[in-house]
Structure 1
Amino acid sequence: MKKLKFALIGCGRIALRHAEIINNIAELTAVCDIKPERADEFSKKFFSKPYTSIEELLLNEKDTDVVSVCTPNSFHSAHTIAALKAGKNVVCEKPMAISVSECNRMMIEADKSGKDLFIVKQNRFNPPVAALKQVIEAGRLGKILNVELNCFWNRNDEYYRQSDWKGKKAIDGGTLFTQFSHFIDLLYWLIGDFKTLNGIGRNFIHTKLVEFEDTGVVIGEFENGALCTINYTVNSHKQNMEGSITVFGENGTVKIGGQYLNVLEYQSIDGYKIEGLPASRPANDYGFYQGSMSNHEKVYENVIDVLTKGGTIAANAFEGMKTVEIIERIYKSMENC
């Protein structure tokens, strides 16, 4: 079978993970970054043609099948729409965008072009998370009563100083967009949409570097009546501490924890036990900090399955938009607190 041809827009930290996987299972033909040295570095490493303009890349690389967008958050919409208009399928890193209106424009363009839009939600592939999804869908927990989400990471001054966009509200969007959108996605994916959301956010120790909250507390009620608490911070001392979700049901309780939702920490389910889980992959390692679980190969396996075998998109654009919508609602509720 002929390998699909990919182009990569943005050559930053997460883009390296994308490029490595694409290079293993498909063909990375072109890379693009506004910083020529980054594009050249990727070009040499992955034997692809470098560009500093997405318009030039799309004009010249006519046989590209898929464009992977790995640029800063606020550019996801424009770069995705440009690729869709050029007749390319798109893989868009999280968050899909930093406003629902941008997400809607992306979905409209995908529909007009007839091309597929994939949103990266790799934490859905964490073995304990996938097992919890199966348990909930099978009804083993009974009625879901409440859910607790904890995100306690460390993002120190160096993290923000080494970036020319992280911490800037107009580009970054906020802590929930850049750090914890995967966790918000799992609430929607596992339990459903929210009826109400109310939050309080504060910037305690990053006031000189960050234009938004570094800590937040949220309470919510799902449409199904279950209650939810979200506690998050990037002020965990020196290192990431915890990324966990606990689901309490009438017939069972399950907690997935570790630092990155990678460990089945607790389970008590009537007449059932989750067993035989494969080992979780390591977290994405960026040197002085770590991010979410490294399941991007599963994302790209799904892309290839959809485009060559007619498979189903694992995380579609509507689901990507719902994550953005939930975060927007949380931030809106924080405005007067």
Structure 2
Amino acid sequence: MNTRKTFGLIGAAGYIAPRHINAIKENNGQLCAALDKFDSVGILDRYFSEADFFTEPERFDRYLYKRQRNGQPLDFVSICSPNYLHDAHIRMALRNGSDAICEKPLVLNPWNVDALQQLEKDTNQRIYNILQLRLHPAIIDLREKINQAPADKIYDIDLTYITSRGKWYYESWKGDPSKSGGITTNIGIHFFDMLQWIFGKMEQSTVHMHEANKAAGFLHLKKARVRWLLSLDFEDIPQEAKDKGMRTYRSITVENEEIEFSGGFTDLHTQAYRHLLNGQGFGLDDARACIELGHHIRNSQIKGLSGDFHPLLKQ
């Protein structure tokens, strides 16, 4: 009996797609078809040159429907499309008899999660979110350490994530908050999920700054007080990092102790696929907290530099 899983891919020409394509290959999957309105997808030749390719969603939808009608629906459809299209593409997958594997953010609004949960029940299919930081060894070790500490311990945390982006970013869908969710959802969602997974859900949130290219605030989680800063501005990178030629800087300190997790990212998508193929994928309930927090921050009143704010804001 052939147990090789079959996949479709929506968003084959984007930044994150190669990690999904490689993960499918490394987990002995077969990519049968891909969809992207852009046709610069030569990367498919490196992994799955035999895959069908579509530039129109209507034709891809028909392909999925015909497979389902013939009793051979794809096992999974992996979704790497722009954030605001995730909900529609998840629905396309489930309606055609496939489970969905979706990049972060799963959706932009909490009520979309409720509707997708109903769709899971209606179709008897599953929706998985790629929450790969939960599989990073350093993050797993930190979570175990926190779980073994006294239950009433509250940790002081500084989170800094600066990833330089050029002018193209603001002209693309990523620069449109209605499509990307803005900086806090588009690049912060990874960390908001990770922090709540380790330290518990949000109890209070203050936003000190929220602009197109940077945002900062304070979170009170069940077990932590977090000062956070996200930026797309190269000038915000510390000088010592610039001197090393770095265009991305990430730092998490817990009680003034740096948590080193800059490495170990290369195969996390492969691990995430292996994880879900073994029946341990992260579903809608896992994704809900970070979606709720992203939505809350996006719609919060900006307080300015008052209270406990991130130290880099002093600059």
- Structure 1 residue 3 displacement after superposition: 0.7
Say whether 1:135 aligns with 2:145: yes
Q: 1:228 is matched with which residue?
A: 226
1:153 maps to a residue whose letter is I
CA distance in 1, matches of 2:156, 2:86: 30
Q: Is the 8 A contact 1:167 1:174 kept in 2?
A: yes
Q: Is the 8 A contact 1:100 1:325 kept in 2?
A: yes
Cα distance 1:115–1:217, how it changes in 2: closer, same or farther (>3 A)?
same
* Structure 1 residues 288-316: Cα deviation after superposition (integer angstroms, max 9, x where no partner): xxxxxx4101111012111xxxxx32x22
Cα distance 1:241–1:148, how it changes in 2: closer, same or farther (>3 A)?
farther
Q: 2:274 is matched with which residue?
A: 301
2:271 maps to a residue whose letter is K
Task: Select 1:242's aligned residue among 239, 244, 249.
Answer: 249
CA distance in 2, matches of 1:297, 1:43: 17
Q: Is the 8 A contact 1:197 1:330 kept in 2?
A: yes
* Structure 1 residues 48-92: Cα deviation after superposition (integer angstroms, max 9, x where no partner): 111222422322343210010110000001100121122211101
Q: 1:210 is matched with which residue?
A: none
Say whether 1:331 aligns with 2:302: no
Q: State percent identity of aligned pairs.
A: 22
* Structure 1 residues 162-206: Cα deviation after superposition (integer angstroms, max 9, x where no partner): x63121112111111111211110111001111111102243xxx
Cα distance 1:153–1:88, how it changes in 2: closer, same or farther (>3 A)?
same
Q: 1:269 is matched with which residue?
A: none
Cα distance 1:254–1:317, how it changes in 2: closer, same or farther (>3 A)?
farther
Task: Select 2:287's aligned residue among 320, 326, 334.
Answer: 320
Cα distance 1:65–1:230, how it changes in 2: closer, same or farther (>3 A)?
same
Structure 1 spans left out of the alignment, 5+ residues: 204-212, 263-279, 284-293, 307-311
2:273 maps to a residue whose letter is Y
Give the TM-score taking structure 1 as reference length.
Answer: 0.77
CA distance in 2, matches of 1:149, 1:319: 24
- Structure 1 residue 111 displacement after superposition: 2.6
- Structure 1 residue 142 displacement after superposition: 5.4
1:57 maps to a residue whose letter is Y
SS at match of 2:105: coil
- Structure 1 residue 4 displacement after superposition: 0.5
Cα distance 1:115–1:147, how it changes in 2: closer, same or farther (>3 A)?
farther
CA distance in 2, matches of 1:142, 1:105: 35
CA distance in 2, matches of 1:120, 1:320: 9
- Structure 1 residue 334 displacement after superposition: 3.4
1:305 maps to a residue whose letter is N
Q: Is the 8 A contact 1:192 1:222 kept in 2?
A: yes
Q: 2:238 is matched with which residue?
A: none
Report 1:1-337 matches (<5 A): 2-11=3-12, 12-25=14-27, 26-35=29-38, 37-38=39-40, 41-45=42-46, 46=48, 47-52=50-55, 53=57, 54-62=60-68, 63=72, 64-137=74-147, 139-140=148-149, 143-160=152-169, 164-203=172-211, 213-223=212-222, 226-237=224-235, 239-248=246-255, 255-257=258-260, 261-262=261-262, 280-282=263-265, 294-306=267-279, 312-313=280-281, 315-334=282-301
Root-mean-square deviation over aligned CA pairs: 2.3
- Structure 1 residue 43 displacement after superposition: 4.8
* Structure 1 residues 188-236: Cα deviation after superposition (integer angstroms, max 9, x where no partner): 1001111111102243xxxxxxxxx322221122245x42221222224
CA distance in 2, matches of 1:24, 1:198: 42
Q: 1:272 is matched with which residue?
A: none
The number of aligned residues is: 283
Q: Is the 8 A contact 1:144 1:247 kept in 2?
A: no
Cα distance 1:295–1:24, how it changes in 2: closer, same or farther (>3 A)?
same
Query: Which structure has more helix as a fraction of its residues?
Result: 2
Cα distance 1:245–1:43, how it changes in 2: closer, same or farther (>3 A)?
closer
